Amino acid sequence: MDLNFFGSFIELGLLALLFGAFLGFAAKKFAVEVDERVEQVEAVLPNANCGACGMPGCSAYARDVVAGKAPVNACIPGGPAVSAAICRILGAEAQVSVKTIARLKCRGGNNRAKDKFQYDGILDCRAAVLVADGPKMCPNGCIGLGTCAEVCLFDAITMGEDGLPIISPEECTGCGACVKACPKKVLELIPAKNQVWVACNNKLPGKFVKEACETGCIACRLCEKNCPVSAIIFEDNLARIDYSKCNNCQICVVVCPTGTIHTNKSGEITNDAPKVRAALERKKAKEAEAKEAAEKKEA
């Protein structure tokens, strides 16, 4: 037997044992303790990595929420169920979260809104807007190339025949990815319980709106004047709904002359429209009676 070879073999074995012992010691000495609750929180998350919580992914959110750096109800796609599960894991008090969904603030589809020119470029709204601010005559209208549908991780958006996105209230999680991607800002997150919203984003005077789109807000203020709970205000020639006051009565939908105000059924007036009109007539009658009584009192 070659003694030199045998000696070298023993030396290598001793070195391996020495390095193994050193690595074992270093692993224990410099080990980073991982809170087991991080894995538990990550397990209850939807793992969509949508970024709606403000973190780069679900793993990052799980670490931050356990460390107390993120709120327990920041997972929008998970909603109240995930928030409650996280609270159980952390032993924290449950926090109420309001479910939101994306709504389209535009009805200017191919058959309603006019174009400035025919766009023949990359089929992406963010690219189209770089060409003379987009092809639509309305400077704030939906371009309609489907970028919002592409970025949606939950298949909640499809493109309609009129070139406008159709958002499924059932599938939408309110993550806000489409809102961030839209270069015209025609998408907005609103409380899911609210069934009425203003489907226009044009802040120009009514005369221009009529020239550019059939269904744009012309700032006639009929919705504001007839809202029984004063939930509608005007800012920059555009109606805006205060959702903390809105009770979904849909009177604004009935009185809007251009069909700008949408309901939850694709902008159509629901079967409750006759009741809404009756309520509106009662409101007007009461106002007339009050006015008449005031005049008599003054006389």
- Of the candidates 58, 96, 61, 59, the one whose C-alpha atom is nearest the C-alpha of residue 79 is 96
Token readout for 297 is 């009192």
Which of 105-138 are b and which e, b meaning 16 or more Cβ less than 10 Å from the residue's Cβ?
bbbbbeebbeeeeebeeeebbebbbeeeebbbbb
Sign of CA dihedral 194, 238, 162, 146: negative
Q: How confident is the model at residue 270 (pLDDT cuts 50, 70, 90)?
A: very low
Which of 228-262 are b and which e, b meaning 16 or more Cβ less than 10 Å from the residue's Cβ?
eeebbeeeebbbebebeebeebbbbbbbbebbbbb
Higher pLDDT, 187 or 280: 187
What is d(CA 28, CA 48) in angstroms, rounded to the nearest whole number?
A: 34
Does the structure show a pLDDT above 80 at 278?
Answer: no
Q: Which domains does the chain have, with CATH numbers?
A: 36-90 (1.10.15.40), 102-193 (3.30.70.20), 195-206+214-299 (3.30.70.20)
Which residue is listed with tokens 């309603």? Answer: 112
Does the structure show a pLDDT above 60 at 261?
Answer: yes
CA atoms within 13 A on the CB side of 179: 17
- pLDDT for residue 81: 86
Mean pLDDT, to the nearest integer, of 235-252? 91
Which residue is listed with tokens 């744009």? Answer: 216
User: Lowest-pLDDT range, 8-22, 89-103, 200-214?
Assistant: 8-22
Which residue is listed with tokens 């700032």? Answer: 219
> Taking a C-beta distance cutoff of 8 angstroms, is the pair 246, 194 a contact?
yes
Do the strands 197-198 and 232-235 form a parallel or antiparallel pair, or are they unpaired? unpaired
Which residue is listed with tokens 């709904």? Answer: 241
Does the structure show a pLDDT above 50 at 267?
Answer: no
Higher pLDDT, 243 or 26: 243
What is d(CA 46, CA 58) in angstroms, rounded to the nearest whole number?
A: 8
Mean pLDDT, the chain, rounded, equals 85
Q: How confident is the model at residue 264 (pLDDT cuts 50, 70, 90)?
A: confident
Among the ranges 12-21, 205-214, 261-270, which has the highest mean pLDDT value?
A: 205-214
Mean pLDDT, to the nearest integer, of 61-79? 88
What is d(CA 234, CA 225) in angstroms, rounded to the nearest whole number?
A: 11
Integer-rounded Cα radius of gyration of the chain? 29
Instruction: Give 215's contacts (C-beta < 8 A, 6+ positions apart).
Output: 107, 108, 112, 199, 200, 258, 259, 260
